[in-house]
């Protein structure tokens, strides 16, 4: 495969996954039965695992082993972006309570919203900087925190093992066994013993999934174009969905590491196969644009839900603005409205911000040359 199509279909796959994430953050009464577990099939079984798998596609061994430069790169590309979202969200915490974006009577993942004084504000800012931010309106950004930590952890683990093991084959097998062991241990602690440290246990799960994506792309060189493997993957995903339902990687809750790995890879094959089939279509380009900007959709779609609720109130449709998940209930029309509006808002926001930045940079350069010419 040449470079352009590869990047295009990967972006489409990310677009499919992020649409599934937004869809299942809408409070809608999806049809459910033991034969058709719709929520699991629409994404709760696979959307976040697929993101982690795709996160390993373009890792390079030589860069992983350059731990210092690799981590510095991830600090610039992921950590700083997180802070650009989290610091304003924390500073606006009290404001969001005043305007009704938060409801003090609602529990947001076990967290009750209260007005913060200066000391509490500083405490929350420090927690955000230390990868422990929990501002509800950025609830989906736990994924980026874990992705950042997992990528750094994968680089450190690879470097240590590379220094200890000189034989390349042994190194790869031992790295695989080590990461799988950490994933199994993490799963056991969470799902068997009920012991979970947020953004610690699921980091080991993420490291394993990222590594699997890396191996599939760089060692096995899968091109995800075999229709028979796609059909088998559909059977696997359906079977696991009916037997076990979805997974909740935010809380590191899933049945076991083996089932998670199999279902995630099978779902990845389906998504990537579909992406390549539609990459030349109009919908394919739309999904690719969503995929390229999936970080911003993840960070802004909860805000989009609230703005959507405000717009609905203007036409007489009253919803609780304080609800974190979009309150579509049993209305399919509201489901589509919240889904489309939140995604479009996120894309318009980041596109406008980039254009504004480009204008400011252009004006700054023009002023510099004007002053120089004078």
Q: What pLDDT does 373 receive?
A: 66
- Check if the beta carbon of residue 195 is closer than 8 Å to that of residue 189: yes
What tens digit of pLDDT does each residue of 303-328 get? 999 999 999 999 999 999 999 999 99
Q: What pLDDT does 2 receive?
A: 41
Structure token digits, residue 133: 């931010």
What would the 3-class secondary structure string for 208-225 be? HHHHHHHHHHHCCCCCCC
Predicted confidence (pLDDT) at residue 64 exceeds the cutoff of 50: yes
What tens digit of pLDDT does each residue of 211-237 get? 999 999 999 999 999 999 999 999 999
Q: What pLDDT does 369 receive?
A: 66
Domain spans, the chain: 3-287
Q: How many whole angstroms separate alpha carbon 113 and alpha carbon 108?
A: 8
Taken in order 288, 293, 299, 301, the sign of the CA dihedral is negative
Q: What pLDDT does 374 receive?
A: 62
| Averaged confidence pLDDT in the chain | 93
Q: What pLDDT does 368 receive?
A: 65
Q: How many whole angstroms separate alpha carbon 21 and alpha carbon 119?
A: 34
Q: What pLDDT does 365 receive?
A: 74
Q: How many whole angstroms separate alpha carbon 53 and alpha carbon 76?
A: 21
What tens digit of pLDDT does each residue of 329-372 get? 999 999 999 999 999 999 999 999 999 988 888 777 777 666 66
State pTM to two decimals: 0.93
Q: What pLDDT does 366 receive?
A: 72
Predicted confidence (pLDDT) at residue 5 exceeds the cutoff of 50: no
**DSSP code per residue over 34-94:** SS-BHHIIIIITTHHHHHHHHHTTT--HHHHT-HHHHHHHHIIIIIHHHHHHHHHHHHTHH
Output phi, psi for 15, to 5 deg: -65, -45
Predicted confidence (pLDDT) at residue 113 exceeds the cutoff of 80: yes
Predicted confidence (pLDDT) at residue 205 exceeds the cutoff of 80: yes
Q: What pLDDT does 111 receive?
A: 87
What tens digit of pLDDT does each residue of 183-195 get? 999 999 999 999 9
């Amino acid at each position: 495969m040449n470079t352009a199509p590869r990047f295009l279909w990967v972006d489409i796959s990310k677009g499919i996954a992020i649409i599934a994430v937004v869809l299942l953050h809408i409070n809608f009464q999806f049809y459910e039965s033991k034969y058709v577990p719709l929520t699991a099939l629409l994404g709760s079984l696979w959307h976040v695992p697929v993101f982690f798998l795709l996160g390993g596609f373009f890792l390079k061994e030589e860069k992983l082993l350059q731990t210092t430069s690799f981590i510095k790169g991830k600090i610039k590309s992921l950590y700083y972006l997180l802070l650009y979202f989290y610091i304003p969200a924390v500073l606006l915490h009290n404001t969001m309570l005043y305007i009704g974006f938060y409801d003090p009577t609602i529990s947001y993942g076990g967290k009750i919203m209260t007005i913060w004084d200066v000391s509490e504000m500083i405490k929350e800012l420090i927690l955000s900087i230390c990868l422990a931010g929990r501002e509800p309106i950025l609830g989906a950004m736990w994924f980026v925190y874990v992705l950042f930590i997992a990528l750094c952890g994968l680089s450190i683990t690879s470097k240590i093992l590379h220094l200890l093991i000189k034989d390349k084959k042994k190194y790869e097998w031992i790295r695989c066994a080590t990461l799988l062991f950490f994933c199994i241990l993490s799963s056991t602690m969470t799902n068997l013993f009920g012991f979970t440290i947020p953004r610690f246990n699921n980091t080991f799960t993420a490291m394993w999934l990222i590594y699997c994506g890396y191996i599939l792309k760089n060692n096995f060189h899968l091109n995800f174009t075999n229709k028979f493997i796609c059909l088998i993957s559909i059977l696997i995903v359906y079977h696991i969905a009916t037997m076990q339902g979805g997974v909740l990687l935010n809380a590191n809750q899933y049945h076991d590491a083996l089932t998670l790995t199999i279902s995630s890879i099978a779902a990845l094959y389906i998504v990537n196969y579909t992406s390549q089939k539609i990459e030349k279509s109009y919908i394919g380009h739309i999904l690719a644009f969503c995929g390229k900007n999936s970080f911003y959709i993840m960070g802004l779609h909860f805000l989009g839900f609230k703005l959507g609720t405000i717009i609905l109130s203007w036409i007489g449709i009253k919803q609780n603005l304080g609800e974190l998940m979009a309150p579509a209930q049993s209305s399919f029309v509201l489901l589509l409205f919240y889904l489309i509006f939140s995604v479009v808002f996120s894309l318009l926001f980041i596109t406008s911000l980039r254009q504004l930045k480009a204008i400011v940079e252009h004006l700054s350069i023009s002023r510099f040359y004007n002053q120089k010419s004078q």
